[in-house]
């Protein structure tokens, strides 16, 4: 298991934030790029809605779902939706949003790692996601290597 970290440096503090998935870290970085949203509010938002659900809400332009998170007002929710709509729609449309099973399930970790490997090999996110999903659905992949081999066969 790996931990994705972000070190946020300010004049008065060095803050370290940890994330289970690359997607959570990427969404966190997108959130703190918005004026008026700091790292603590970004973590609060991700704790309240989750990275995948946040991207879905933003891509659909549903500021009310974002506003439902404690600590997020109407103006902040609208700003998040407005500023991140294109990025979120692109991530959701390209299939880069990896749907996660509960953290303890090995299949979700295998799928995420296999998808990352295929993306690093240059396959499109959409094709890689379909191949990994199909490989997981067939159920014969007992290890990461086996799942990647199966996905590569599907892509070929």
98 pLDDT more than 60 = no
Which range (10-14, 50-54, 56-60, 95-99) has the least confidence? 95-99
Q: Phi and psi for 34 in degrees, rounded to 5?
A: -85, 130
- For residue 16, name the pLDDT band (cuts at 50, 70, 90): very high
User: Which structural domains are found in the chain, ordered by start?
Assistant: 4-93 (1.10.150.20), 106-155 (1.10.8)
> What is the pTM assigned to this prediction?
0.60
Distance CA 99, CA 123 (A): 19
Residues sharing a CB contact under 8 Å with residue 59, sequence separation 6 or more, in sequence order: 85, 88, 89, 91, 92, 93
- Which of 55-59, 99-103, 127-131, 134-138 is predicted with the least confidence, judged by mean pLDDT? 99-103
- Looking at the predicted structure, is the pLDDT value of residue 106 above 60? no
Sign of the alpha-carbon torsion through 110, 21, 119, 57: positive
Residue 120 has pLDDT above 50, yes or no: yes
Angle at 82 between CA 79 and CA 83, to 5 degrees: 80
> pLDDT at residue 92 above 80?
no
Percent of the chain with pLDDT over 70: 86
Cα(73)–Cα(80) distance, rounded to whole angstroms? 11
What gap in Å lies between CA 146 and CA 142, rounded to an integer? 6
Q: What pLDDT was estimated at residue 133?
A: 84
């Amino acid at each position: 298991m790996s931990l994705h970290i972000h070190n946020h440096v300010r004049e008065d503090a060095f803050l370290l934030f940890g994330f289970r998935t690359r997607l959570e870290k990427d969404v966190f970085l997108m959130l703190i790029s918005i004026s008026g949203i700091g790292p603590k509010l970004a973590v609060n938002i991700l704790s309240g809605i989750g990275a995948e659900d946040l991207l879905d809400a933003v891509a659909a332009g549903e500021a009310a779902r974002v506003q439902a998170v404690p600590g997020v007002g109407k103006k902040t929710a609208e700003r998040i939706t407005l500023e991140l709509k294109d990025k979120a729609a692109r991530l959701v449309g390209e299939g880069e949003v990896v749907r996660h099973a509960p953290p303890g399930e090995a299949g979700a970790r295998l799928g995420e790692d296999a998808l990352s490997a295929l993306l690093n090999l240059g396959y499109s996110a959409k094709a890689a996601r379909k191949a990994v999903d199909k490989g997981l659905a067939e159920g014969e992949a007992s290890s990461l290597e086996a799942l990647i081999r199966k996905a590569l066969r599907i892509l070929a």
